[in-house]
Structure 1
Amino acid sequence: MAVTLKGCYTVKPTEKTWCGRLALSELDQTEQVSHVPKIYFYHPPENCKYPTIASTLRDSLSRVLVPFYPLAGPLHWINNGRLELHCNASGVSFIEAESSSSLQHLSDDFNLYRLLAPTVDYTLPIHQNPLLLIQLTRFSCGGISIGLTISHVVVDGPSASHFICEWARLARGEPLQTASFHDRRVLRAGEPPSVPLTECHVHVEFDLPPLLLGKNDNAEERKKKTTMAVLELSKTQVETLRKRANGNYSRYESVAGHIWRSACMARGLKEEQPTMLSITVDLRRRIKPPLPEGYFGNATLDTVASGLVGDLVLEPLGYTCSIIRAAIEKVNDDYVWSGIEFLKNQEDLRRFHLDAIAKESEEEVFYGNPNLSVVSWLTLPMFGVDFGWGKEVYMRPATHDFDGDFKLLPGPVGGSFVVALGLQVEHMDAFKKHFYRDIE
């Protein structure tokens, strides 16, 4: 599929916004120094002409950047691996492109999807890259795609979804539904540590994950070629997994546990091999007081489920689910604030960053073989996004090929799941076999 760029614009807030330096929370500071891409595909009605679509998107984007003004300013390094956000209304990128292909010819070849979301040049200084980039692509069939890529340092999944939904509301001519809340001091942004490190809980999620037995580092694993797959689970298959877990665990726990077990088998790991599943937990309602509605920033904390491969694959699925549930349940108010204090006590945060151009750096956390990490998009309002010409045909992450990373998304039919997974190429076919073998 060929994609031709037709124009690139800088879109700025249509009104004057607050300008100044915005302190980031420790939860922002330790997120990936990268952008997260996703693509929405549409079949606009025949009476909705492309020039109108393009102008509607640009106009509504400039208006939504007023309440969501942090997205229009750059990041700057300050010291010891820490960042701050300069709110200066410098704008975001809006790209227009064309493709000779049609939506019907798109497949799950993610090399094609890479062409439909903006790319970010991470060789540039961080302050030269926009926090938000949009690409509108017109296909020969009249369909379009809207590819978004948004800085993970500035927002997490719920905040990104909040922005997209409000942008779509303005594009439809409706008012904002939920105001964005930007004062990150509610998560002690910019404040010094308040308790000594010795008084913090033990936070194994900040330790380096297990290595393959017999290895002193993961340099070799980092260099192996990876690929991405999007796998669908019907409602019946999801319920089958719940029954395998004795029906005592949620759909999320059952599917995540099944993926962890399948990856262990696909990788051919030894029974005595330690393995870790890093689980991203939304803390908005887990702390006291809960974060204000519309909090715009990162409000997640990772927790860790760990075990031996032999126990995970030989015990029933319910055993793996129990480990996952126990890890999630420990993320309470005390645990969250202790985690924030732990991070504040770190002199240098560079080891927490997963930089998009230095994935092989041994200083960065790596959740690849023999480990995994999971993010759930199951409850996010990221589907049914209508900019004024109807809801999307479908939505996909543009790329997700870090070894061991997977996302869980709601499927097209109620109760079904979509799994977007990155694995080493040599393990993907075996993973698919194990993944479907026990549920068909």
Structure 2
Amino acid sequence: MGAGGKEYTLTIKDTETVTAAEPVQEHRLPMSNLDLLLPAMDVGVFFCYKKPMAKTDFTFSSMVSALKSSLAEALSTYYPFAGEVVANPVSEPELLCNNRGVDFTAAYADVELRELSLADPDDSVEGKLVPKKNAGVLCVQVTELKCGGLVVACTFDHRVSDAYSANMFLVSWSEIATSKPVSRLPTFRRSLLTPRDPLRLHASLDVLFVPVSSLPPPKPVDEGEPAVNRIYYIAAADVDRMQAATKKRTKVEAFTAYIWLVLAKAAAPEEKWCRMGVVVDGRSRLGSAAMASYFGNVLSIPYGSLDAEELRGMDLAEVAEEVHGWLRPATTEEHFRGLVDWVEVHRPEPAVARIYCGEGDSGVGCVVSSGRAFPVAEVEFGWGKAVFGSYHFPWGSNAGYVMPMPSARGNGDWVVYAHLQKKVVEALEAEQPPVFCLVTPDYYLADTN
């Protein structure tokens, strides 16, 4: 186990399939052009809760029952999560909305919440607390801990939903569980992302995205430098200092610049370049009020590439300006409309973000996905707020992946999930003064009242 962690055994107590309480008529829902940019990969998310107060009547059985019944209601609205991904006549993925249902597992772990080494999710979370999805679009696992605490975890197909959509679902599920009105109903209107007529193409998109047939043979993962997963926290004051050092660039730009500099420090002599990308959500860029409730993927991944040696000679403010320079053009309506058109031109051939695939020569890369809207404080099913929550995305790419999220403590701290090569993790943790602090039980169980 990682530092402070305890080996434990997970016992599956029950598995069933939860279907929508009020299913829609079976139909096929096409993927949007932006969904088609996502390869088949799953994303996990988990929330940790302390044992309910002694004065309440909650038992594990009653909590599982409440989660199942409210999930069935939520699936009546979020019916794509109860469906399956199938192939259309030209072998593109699309959604079969057939109420196949969500695999729901109840489990027991003989470990206390304070004994979990959440900083090292490879040991404490992977294959244990976050379920592996075997079929369908979404699966759920609820795990009772030895102390009476609870972990609620989901894994979903990224081709169907981005983090924004998953967040909407999680909040709606918890609102239903606590008999609150659902604050945001999703829309599945693919017409919101219809290609233009005539199509308008931008050469810049050929730099950011690439048809799969144009890719070189996949680069094998360096067995000597395996990717590892870590969960950190960054104190609010350090986030503010990071931003202040970049002369008023955004917190995400400052954070991205910081990671980019660490990437350069970790690069081996033969790794001549460092590339850095940022996931941009296009909903607020597309000029339609309906986009605020749109369920699906509305993402682009701009990136920049710099010589590693050049990067090592730059300060944080200079790097943040570089980030701003390649990030800003991807935050416009025209960029996202153009991306929809670009995919249309290449269909039915699949395409992917180029940063995931390398650039043909030796280098290192990383993507920052802003999880700043992660609803850790809102996903409350009736027995108290989560004391900790995080995404879990050990995706296996050569490029690293880092996701900052708000801390459950609600004090401005960030929780950061990182999937990085071991040498990058070591460089990140060696930074002075330390900014990335490994999550400990003292952190996530601290009384913040």
Query: TM-score over 0.5 for the alignment?
Result: yes
Change (3 A) 1:286 1:201: farther
Name the aligned partner's letter for residue 389 of structure 1.
Answer: W
Provide the aligned length of Structure 1 versus Structure 2.
413
Change (3 A) 1:398 1:333: closer
**Structure 2 unmatched runs, 5+:** 1-7, 438-449
Q: CA deviation at 1:379?
A: 2.7
Change (3 A) 1:251 1:65: same
Which residue number in structure 1 is paired with residue 22 of structure 2?
15
- Does the 8 Å CA contact 1:80/1:350 hold for their aligned counterparts? no
Cα offsets for 1:15-45 (capped at 9, x unmatched): 1313211011111111131111011111222
Is 1:120 the counterpart of 2:130? The answer is no
Which residue number in structure 1 is paired with residue 209 of structure 2?
206
Cα offsets for 1:304-352 (capped at 9, x unmatched): 2232223322122111111211222212111111111111111444452
Which residue number in structure 2 is paired with residue 365 of structure 1?
357
> How many angstroms apart in 1 are the aligned matches of 2:432 and 2:273?
21
The correspondence of residues 7-406 of structure 1 with structure 2, limited to 5 A, is 7-43=14-50, 44-46=52-54, 47=56, 48-78=58-88, 82-107=92-117, 108-110=119-121, 111-114=123-126, 115-121=128-134, 129-188=135-194, 194-195=197-198, 199-203=201-205, 204-207=207-210, 219-221=219-221, 223=223, 224-245=225-246, 247-269=247-269, 273-331=272-330, 332-352=332-352, 365=357, 369-400=363-394, 402=396, 403-406=399-402
Name the aligned partner's letter for residue 226 of structure 2.
Answer: K
- Does the 8 Å CA contact 1:99/1:139 hold for their aligned counterparts? yes
- Does the 8 Å CA contact 2:187/2:294 hold for their aligned counterparts? yes
Name the aligned partner's letter for residue 103 of structure 2.
Answer: S
Change (3 A) 1:208 1:270: farther
Q: CA deviation at 1:120?
A: 2.5
- Does the 8 Å CA contact 2:278/2:369 hold for their aligned counterparts? yes
Detail structure 1 runs of 4+ shifted over 4 Å in the superposition: 366-369, 435-440
Change (3 A) 1:323 1:104: same
- Does the 8 Å CA contact 1:226/1:401 hold for their aligned counterparts? no
Cα offsets for 1:347-379 (capped at 9, x unmatched): 44445299xxxxxxxx97359951111100113
> How many angstroms apart in 2 are the aligned matches of 1:257 and 1:319?
9
Change (3 A) 1:88 1:38: same
> How many angstroms apart in 2 are the aligned matches of 1:30 and 1:112?
31
> How many angstroms apart in 2 are the aligned matches of 1:70 and 1:143?
30
> How many angstroms apart in 2 are the aligned matches of 1:222 and 1:69?
40
Cα offsets for 1:284-319 (capped at 9, x unmatched): 111233543311111111112232223322122111
Is 1:410 the counterpart of 2:413? The answer is no
**How large is the Cα RMSD of the aligned pairs?**
2.7
> Identity across aligned pairs (percent)?
22
Change (3 A) 1:353 1:166: same
> How many angstroms apart in 2 are the aligned matches of 1:228 and 1:336?
31
> How many angstroms apart in 1 are the aligned matches of 2:375 and 2:403?
15
Q: CA deviation at 1:414?
A: 2.5
- Does the 8 Å CA contact 2:392/2:417 hold for their aligned counterparts? no
Q: CA deviation at 1:81?
A: 5.6
Change (3 A) 1:401 1:31: closer
